[in-house]
């Protein structure tokens, strides 16, 4: 089997880099063409595809909606209720795929929602709708499927919500006796359930309380036929999370959510659980529905007559607290009145974006100037590597803009500018390791391989620190700081890819060229200029006593072998003895 040479490894690495960049460029090109030529690109995988990255609120502007929270009970809206309303609205906006939005409270009653660009009417309706929490009995449930299956067994790839034929019977053939009665399932409802897709749900938030509902869970992994509403979320007086305990008070170590109902809720919940406990799966389940989506559907293990229920399952401390908050505040006694809906200009605008880009170009120019002064012709590897890193970053950001609605803020631009220094630092570490090997007397090809092994550990250690810092900042920070952290994280990963698949392979190739291999004085890799001390087996360069070269001469003496030192010492003794005798 032929041995893999450094040149073959370099060509293989460069080939992989070209393939990666070609795939990214081809994907974005194909999506952009389809988006521009398709008459209806909505809900398609290429919807919104473009070569121009989307900008965030601070650079593009958008729509600002001011909502006034009003209590339906006549009492004042508390800050806790207002904050939970903010969380619910944020969940609704995130569900639509809109990123870089801002939701804040204003004063004692107002919530201000700012969305980049121009949102569609569905998004605005989601924001303005009041949260609604209900309890419905489960009639049927099964794992969700993204494909709609028709009566003939055919698959439909249409992303639009399914609508049953109008000819199907829509009213129960017999009057249902309670919420769990399967008479609720009419031919029309069964057809809707069979063809229902969680990836394209109907407008379930407007379903009447006294009618059954077809919907999915929040993850889109299960779909349900639910009976009419039997308990209102407004009847929950309190919801807490904690470790479950037995009737003897012993802690089981399992996290649970504890519900407490008011008088009306206690009565209704007792009636329902008395019925559900005697039914088989899945009809013994009681679904908790928020904004038309099932957040949990626990089984009924016993009749609850005291108004205190406990939900157990695969909860953690965080997930149990999240569910408790949803139950406690999901049915807020709050209505939202739209005070204003207006287009807002960018908070920073084009001037700041241009300023940020100019700052980046200045930083890039300084890096190039430093590289030319320090590394002479070797600086062209730095320039090419930075260009490849910039191209990869642009391609990824452009694709993320239309695939995950990523938007570039000024903080994100700052992260890209910082990345120039991170990438340049990796080149400097690598080049200096090569120079160290040249100073030790290695040929350039050998110095490139040895220097890479030493430099790679340092580069990975440095990038690991940057990566962990970016992840920590992204998790703990809010608003624009997340944009900075994300771009820093992205460019750190790209730095590793570029150094491994471009910079090192390029050095492997140019090491075989005459200009660099023979150490031309303008190559930046001239052994003589670097103070190399070793010129072959047991041969050293004669020291030149001036500044840096004097230090190199002393370094040469320290690096001599024992035999060479003895030989040098014996010569000196002979000379010294002879002089002594003459005197």
Summary mean pLDDT of the chain: 80
d(C-alpha 556, C-alpha 564), whole Å? 11
Residue 441 exposure: Cα atoms within 13 Å on the Cβ side: 14
In angstroms, the CA 21 to CA 475 distance is 29
Could you tell me where the beta strands, DSSP code E, fall in 262-398? Answer: 286-290, 293-296, 308-312, 334-344
Q: Report pLDDT for 347.
A: 61
Tell me what the mean pLDDT of segment 69-92 comes to.
75
State residue 526's pLDDT score.
86
Judge whether residue 295 has pLDDT over 80. Answer: yes
Helix or strand or coil: residue 141?
Answer: strand
Residue 403 to residues 92, 413, 473: CA-CA distances in angstroms?
19, 20, 24
Q: Give me the pLDDT at residue 551, please.
A: 53
For helices 350-375 and 379-403, what crossing angle results, to 10°?
A: 150
User: Which stretches within 477-543 are classed as H helix?
Assistant: 480-498, 504-510, 514-517, 527-530
Q: Which SS3 state, helix, strand or coil, does residue 309 take?
A: strand
Q: Tell me: pLDDT of 156 over 80.
A: no
147, 202, 224, 283 from 188: Cα distances, Å: 19, 15, 15, 20
Quote the CA–CA distance of 482 and 502 in Å, as a whole number: 29
222 secondary structure, DSSP code: E
Three-state DSSP class for 352? helix
Task: Specify the range with the lowest mean pLDDT, choosing from 288-297, 350-359, 418-427.
Answer: 350-359
CB 517 within 8 A of CB 445: yes
- Long-range contacts formed by 35-41: CB under 8 A, 24+ apart: 35/402
Task: Please say whether the beta carbons of 131 and 290 come within 8 A.
Answer: yes
Residues 441 and 181: their CA atoms lie apart, in Å, by 88
Note the pLDDT of residue 570: 47
Quickly state the pLDDT bin for 53 (edges 50, 70, 90).
confident
307: left (phi over 0), alpha (psi -120 to 50) or beta: left
Task: Report the pLDDT value the prediction gives residue 408, as an integer from 0 to 100.
Answer: 84
Q: What pTM value is reported for the model? A: 0.60
Provide the pLDDT for residue 332: 62
Confidence of residue 467 (pLDDT cuts 50, 70, 90): very high
346-363 residue pLDDT tens: 765 567 777 777 888 888
Mean pLDDT of the 313-317 span: 80
pLDDT at 126: 66
Angle between helix axes 317-329 and 79-95 (nearest 10 degrees) is 110
Q: Which whole number is the average pLDDT over 105-126? A: 77
Q: Of 441, 131, 82, give the one whose Cα is nearest residue 288.
A: 131
Give the Cα separation of 132 and 149 in Å (integer). Answer: 31
* pLDDT tier at 394, thresholds 50, 70, 90: very high
Q: Is 176 helix (H, G, I), strand (E, B) or coil?
A: coil
Phi-psi region of 536 (alpha: psi -120 to 50; beta: other; left: phi over 0): left
Q: Which residues contact 79 (CB under 8 A, 6 or more apart)?
A: 105, 108
Q: What is the pLDDT of residue 357?
A: 79
**Does 49 have pLDDT greater than 90?**
no
Q: Which of 48, 161, 145 is nearest to 98 (CA)?
A: 48
Share of the chain above pLDDT 90, in %: 30
- pLDDT for the residue 582: 42
- pLDDT recorded at residue 419: 86
HSE-CB of 450 using CA atoms within 13 angstroms: 15
Of 87-96, 419-428, 521-530, 567-576, which range is least confident?
567-576
pLDDT-based confidence at 530, cuts 50/70/90? confident
Q: So what's the pLDDT on residue 285?
A: 93
What SS3 state is found at 504? helix
Return d(Cα 282, Cα 301) in angstroms, integer: 12
Rounded CA separation 325/75 (Å): 21
* Residue 183 and residue 173 in contact, taking contact as beta carbons nearer than 8 Å: yes
CA–CA dist 86, 110 (Å, integer): 10
Q: Which residues pair with 341 in a beta bridge?
A: 65
**Does position 562 have pLDDT exceeding 80, yes or no?**
no
What is the secondary structure of 366-421 as a DSSP string? Answer: HHHHHHHHHHGGGHHHHHHHHHHHHHHHHHHHHHHHHHS---B-HHHHHHHHHHHH
Residue 335 has pLDDT above 50, yes or no: yes
Q: Whole-angstrom Cα distance, residue 14 to residue 416?
A: 24
What integer pLDDT is reported at residue 74 of this predicted model? Answer: 64
Q: Please name the helix (run of DSSP H) or strand (run of DSSP E) that holds residue 428, with its range, or none.
A: helix 410-439
CA 65-71-72 angle, 5° bins: 115
Backbone torsions φ then ψ of 335, nearest 5 degrees:
-110, 150
Q: In sequence order, what are the residues at sequence separation of 6 or more whose Cβ sits closer than 8 angstroms to the Cβ of residue 204?
A: 213, 214, 215, 292, 293
Burial of 478 (0-12, 13-18, 19+ CB in 10 A): exposed
Q: How would residue 336 be classed by pLDDT, with cut points 50, 70 and 90?
A: confident
Mean pLDDT value across residues 572-577: 45
Predicted local confidence at residue 554, as pLDDT:
54
Note whether 12 and 382 are within 8 A (CB): no
E strands of 208-333, at which residues?
213-216, 222-226, 231-232, 236-245, 251-261, 286-290, 293-296, 308-312
Output phi, psi for 165, to 5 deg. Answer: -60, 140
Between 238 and 123, name the one with better pLDDT.
Answer: 238
Whether residue 507 contacts residue 19, with contact meaning beta carbons closer than 8 Å, is answered with: no
């Amino acid at each position: 089997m032929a041995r893999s040479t450094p040149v073959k490894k370099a060509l293989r690495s460069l080939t992989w880099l070209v393939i990666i960049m070609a795939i990214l460029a081809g994907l974005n090109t194909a999506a952009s063409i389809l988006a521009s030529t398709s008459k209806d690109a909505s809900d398609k995988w290429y919807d919104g595809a473009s070569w121009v990255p989307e900008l965030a609120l601070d650079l593009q502007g958008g729509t600002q909606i001011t909502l006034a929270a009003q209590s339906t009970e006549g009492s004042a809206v508390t800050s806790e209720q207002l904050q939970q309303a903010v969380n619910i609205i944020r969940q609704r906006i995130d569900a639509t795929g809109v990123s870089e939005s801002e939701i804040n409270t204003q004063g004692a009653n107002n919530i201000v929602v700012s969305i980049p660009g121009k949102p569609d009417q569905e998004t605005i309706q989601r924001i303005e709708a009041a949260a609604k929490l209900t309890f419905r009995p489960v009639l049927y449930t099964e794992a969700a499927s993204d494909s709609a299956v028709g009566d003939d067994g055919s698959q439909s790839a249409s992303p639009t919500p399914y609508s049953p034929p109008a000819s199907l019977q829509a009213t129960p053939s017999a009057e249902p006796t309670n919420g769990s009665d399967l008479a609720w399932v009419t031919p029309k409802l069964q057809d809707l359930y069979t063809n229902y897709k969680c990836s394209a749900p109907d407008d379930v938030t407007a379903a009447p309380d006294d009618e059954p509902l077809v919907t999915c869970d929040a993850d889109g992994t299960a779909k349900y036929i639910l009976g009419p509403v039997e308990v209102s979320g407004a009847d929950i007086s309190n919801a807490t999370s904690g470790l479950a305990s037995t009737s003897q008070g012993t802690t089981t170590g399992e996290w649970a959510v504890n519900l407490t109902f008011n008088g009306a809720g206690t009565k209704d919940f007792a009636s329902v659980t008395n019925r559900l406990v005697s039914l088989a799966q899945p009809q013994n389940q009681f679904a908790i529905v928020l904004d038309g989506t099932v957040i949990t559907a626990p089984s009924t293990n016993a009749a609850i007559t005291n108004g205190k229920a406990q939900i157990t399952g695969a909860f953690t401390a965080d997930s149990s607290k999240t569910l408790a908050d949803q139950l406690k505040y999901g049915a807020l006694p709050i209505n939202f009145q739209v005070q204003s809906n207006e287009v807002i200009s960018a908070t920073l605008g084009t001037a700041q974006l241009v300023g940020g880009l100019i700052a980046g170009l200045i930083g890039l120019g300084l890096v190039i100037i430093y590289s030319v002064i320090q590394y002479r012709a070797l600086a062209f590897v730095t320039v090419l590597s930075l260009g490849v890193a910039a191209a990869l970053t642009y391609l990824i950001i452009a694709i993320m803009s239309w695939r995950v609605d990523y938007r570039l803020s000024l903080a994100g631009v700052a992260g890209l500018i910082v990345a120039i220094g991170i990438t340049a630092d990796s080149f400097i570490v690598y080049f200096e390791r090569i120079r160290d090997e040249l100073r030790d007397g290695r040929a350039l090809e050998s110095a490139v391989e040895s220097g890479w092994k030493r430099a790679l550990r340092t580069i990975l250690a440095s990038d690991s620190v940057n990566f962990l810092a970016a992840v920590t900042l992204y998790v703990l920070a809010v608003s624009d700081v997340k944009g900075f952290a994300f771009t820093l994280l992205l460019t750190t990963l790209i730095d590793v890819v570029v150094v491994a698949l471009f910079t090192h392979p390029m050095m492997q190739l140019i090491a075989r060229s005459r200009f660099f291999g023979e150490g031309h004085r303008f190559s930046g890799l001239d052994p003589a200029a670097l103070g190399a001390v070793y010129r072959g087996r047991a041969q050293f360069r004669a020291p030149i006593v001036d500044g840096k070269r004097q230090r190199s001469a002393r370094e040469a003496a320290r690096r001599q072998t024992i035999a060479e030192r003895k030989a040098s010492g014996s010569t000196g003794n002979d000379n010294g003895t002879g002089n002594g005798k003459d005197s």
